Amino acid sequence: MFFIKQKQTKQTWDLAKGIGKIELSDGNDTKKQLEMIGLTSKDLDVIHALQPFIKEKLDMIANQYYRDLEQEPSLLKIIQDNSTTDRLKRTLKQHLLEMFTGTINEEFIEKRIRIAHMHVKIGLPTKWYMAAFQNLLLSIITIIVENLTNTDDRLMAIQAATKIINFEQQLVLE
Ligand code: HEM
């Protein structure tokens, strides 16, 4: 039932604080982009704390990601022309683990710019890129809900996950 407000338990998720790091120079655009979406080092603490849950389900995420891509013949063709299923899954898993380390620095930004160039090179249309991000986000939200029972924790985690995905989109879709 949608309208019954459940009695909340106290926040239970034990978050290590001070691990998340933003190491970017003041005044550069990427730092302003983070500020615009309110992605703080506290969010990165949360992102880091989510990493073990993501790690545990990497295969599930990669399989679902590939199943989604497969449904669009033009994407299947791009993959067959430029890569293999196994390589793509491996790349995605590695990338996701890195996305959840909780550090955003110049290396993080440069890597995303390289990835963006790679997708331009293979001719990936933006609409499919965005669709893939959406499906990735849904997998991440499912994992959060499965692992965290407290509503405040879930909200905090989902907010942090949407911010990191959005930031990544800002970098690769520019
Ligand atoms: C390459 C991530 C969407 C096809 C890559 C790389 C990463 C990545 C990390 C490796 C880049 C490098 O080696 O420098 C992502 C993420 C996506 C996404 C996070 C969105 C959520 C897509 C989509 C396709 C695709 C929708 C569909 C065709 C490829 C191909 C390569 C590649 C063919 C190059 C070959 C390879 O590394 O095996 N992607 N990608 N990607 N991506 Fe994506």
Q: Report the pLDDT value the prediction gives residue 145, as an integer from 0 to 100.
A: 97
Residue nearest to atom 43 of ligand 1 (CA): 119
Ligand 1 pocket at CB < 6 A: 69, 75, 78-79, 82-83, 87-88, 91-92, 95, 114-115, 118-119, 122, 124, 128-129, 132-133, 136
Predicted TM-score (pTM) of the model is: 0.92
List Cβ neighbours of 143 (8 Å cut-off, separation of 6 or more).
Answer: 50, 53, 54, 57, 61
How does 42-78 read in b/e, with b if 16+ C-beta sit within 10 Å? ebbbbbbbbbebbeebbeebbebbbebbeeeeebeeb
Cα(39) to centroid of ligand 1, in Å?
Answer: 24
Is the pLDDT reported for residue 5 higher than 70? no
Residue range 60-114, pLDDT digits in tens = 999 999 999 999 999 999 999 999 999 999 999 999 999 999 999 999 999 999 9
